[in-house]
Amino acid sequence: MLKIRLQRVGKKHDPSFRVVLTDSARAARSGSVNEVLGFYSAKREQTKLSGDKIKEWMAKGAQVSDTVHNILVREKIIKGPKKNVLPPKKKSAEETKAKALTEQTPHTTIGK
């Protein structure tokens, strides 16, 4: 399956990414891509994408990663809501302790 995703390039502490079309079985850092579709630099706030080629590959069945999807929505290449790409929030120690206490206390019923 073909995927449109980010491939990291650039120097240490200066992240910039290529938007590439690649086979999903290959690793992102392997360097072997089918086509370069643009680039994205978050630090410099630069984005240059080939919207026509991206739409063409999506029509042919290429899947888009969640982060690339959000970039495409922001650049108004595709329409739709953004996807949540943040990891799930970890519960604090206090919340887990309180939950454990409520599970340990048995519920007693007063009978006749």
Per-residue pLDDT of 30-87, as tens digits, reads 778 889 999 999 888 889 999 999 999 999 999 999 999 999 999 999 999 999 888 8
> What's the token pair of residue 29?
């850092």
| The residue to which tokens 């680039």 are assigned | 39
**Domain at 2-74, CATH from 3.30.1320.10, 3.40.50.620, 3.40.50.150, 3.40.718.10:** 3.30.1320.10
Model pLDDT, residue 108: 60
Tell me how long the chain is: 112
Q: Residue 30 in contact with residue 92, Cβ under 8 Å?
A: no
